[in-house]
Amino acid sequence: MNRLRLWLLAVGGAGLAALLVAACLDLPGFGGDRHPYGDRAVHASLLRHTANTVASVNFDQRAYDTLGEMSILFAAVLGCVVLLRQARDEHRAPPEPAGVARPVRRYALLVLPVALVTGLYVIAHGQLSPGGGFQGGVVAATALHLLYLGADYGALERVRPLGVYETTDALATGAYLVLGLAPVLAGTAFLANTLLPYGTFNTLSSGGTVPLLNAAIGMEVASAAVVLLAHFLDQAVEIEEEHGS
């Protein structure tokens, strides 16, 4: 270990630690009652008939942050497509079918539909109960990969036409943007939740555009996660370096 680095680390770490601990002692006590923004957010959420305040913050009050967040995911998928492409000195080999222990196979195939439905349920009820597009999308995408555990890579590839998922990812991103742009055409602010009726509190169709944006995010996250995992799995299973090149 480099001695200079250890000295730097000691000095820098001690300084930062002192600074942060001093700051913590000045913070308002844990569990305090003063949350002005939070209180306003709860109030605004109830006004717009959205039962889950977090969903209201994510898809209504601060939907613009979520746009950035979704773009980060979209960009990361694009980045992984670029970074994990087949290099000049590599080729693809179809993976060998692999044997799977019977209990694993049974369990995986049994859980797969349950997990998929759970994911879709979590997406659909995002504005009512804890969860939403991000959480449900990940669950749904992971569900498909149980096929890799329960059968083999070939089976997963058959239910996973990558092109379709990549296009869905882009279309869902586009849908979120179009939902944001529609109010601008109507003469109000970007991502304004003013075009649709707010519906009855605590029902699936409540919250105006919140369920729509939530669904777009769910679709985007599910397909993005599938594509991301696919590129990593391709690297592990299919892509091989040329020998003797």
Partner 1 sequence: MRHLLPLLVALPLLGAALLVATGRRLPRVAVEITGFTVCGGTAALALVLLLNSAPPLTEWVGAWPPAGRESVGILVVGDGPALGMATLASLLTLAALAYSWRYFDAPPHGHTGAYTALMLVFQGAMCGFALAGDLFNAFVFFELMSVVAYALTGYRIDEAKAVQGALTFGIVNSLGAYALLMGIALLYARTGELAMARIGHGLDAAGPGGPDALVLASFVLVLTGLLVKAAAVPFHFWLPDAHAVAPTPVCMLLSGVMVELGAYGVWRVYGTVFAGPGGIPAADLTRALVTLGALTAVTGAVMCWYQRHIKRLLAYSTVAHTGLFLVGLGVLTPEADDGVALYLLGHAGVKAALFACAGALLDRFGSVDEHSLHGRGRPLRATGVMCAVGALGLAGLPPFGTALGKAVAEEAVGGPLTVVYVAASAITAGAVLRVTARVFLGLGPRPRDAEYETSGSHEEPETTGLLSRVPDTMTTVPAVLLAAALAMGVVPGFGALVARSVGPAGSGGAHWTAHGVLLGVASTALAVALAGLAVTRPDWTAAPGWAAPLRRLQSGHVGDYVAWLLVGTTVLGALALPGVLGS
Partner 2 sequence: MHVLPYLVAVHLFLTGCYGLATSRNLIHAVGCLAVCQSATYVLLLAVGYRDGGTAPVFSDIRPGSRPVVDPVVQALTLTDIVVGATVTALLLALVLQIAKRHGTVDPDELRELRG
Select 13 or 174, whichever has its Cβ closest to partner 2: 13
The 112-151 site mask, x for binding partner 1 (CB under 8 A), equals ----------------------------------------
22 binds, among partner 1, partner 2, none (CB under 5 to 8 A by kind): partner 1
Q: CA dihedral in degrees (106, 107, 113, 119; nearest 10)?
A: -160
Q: Is 187 in the site for partner 1 (CB under 8 A)?
A: yes
Task: Extract the tokens encoding 66.
Answer: 């979520």
Neighbouring C-alpha atoms within 13 Å toward the C-beta of 67: 16
CA–CA separation, 208 vs 47, rounded Å? 11
The structure tokens 């480099």 sit at 2
> How far is the first Cα of the chain from the last one, in angstroms, to the nearest whole number?
36
According to the binding rule CB under 8 A, does residue 93 interact with partner 1? Answer: no
If one asks whether residue 241 binds partner 1 (CB under 8 A), the answer comes out as no
Q: The dihedral of CA 100, 106, 109, 115: what is its sign?
A: negative
Contacting partner 1 (CB under 8 A), which of 106, 130, 159, 188?
Answer: 188
238 binds, among partner 1, partner 2, none (CB under 5 to 8 A by kind): none
Using CB under 8 A as the binding rule, whether residue 158 contacts partner 1 is answered as no
Please identify which residue in 51, 54, 76, 111 interacts with partner 1, judged by CB under 8 A.
76
**Which residues form the interface with partner 2 (CB under 8 A)?**
1, 5, 9, 13, 16-17, 20-21, 24-25, 27, 29-33, 35, 37-38, 41-42, 45-46, 51-54, 56-58, 62, 65-66, 68-69, 72-73, 75-76, 79-80, 83-84, 87, 128-130, 134, 202, 228, 231-232, 235, 241
Nearest CB to partner 2, comparing residues 30 and 101: 30
Residue 119: CB minimum distance to partner 1, A: 23
Comparing CA positions, the residue from 222, 224, 235 lying closest to residue 123 is: 222
State which residue, 5 or 102, has the beta carbon closest to partner 2: 5
The yes or no reply on residue 67 touching partner 1 (CB under 8 A) is yes
Angle CA(180)–CA(185)–CA(186) in degrees, nearest 5? 100
Give DSSP secondary structure letters for 8-48: HHHHHHHHHHHHHHHHHHHSPPTT-S--HHHHHHHHHHHHT
Say if CB 156 and CB 237 are below 8 A apart.
no
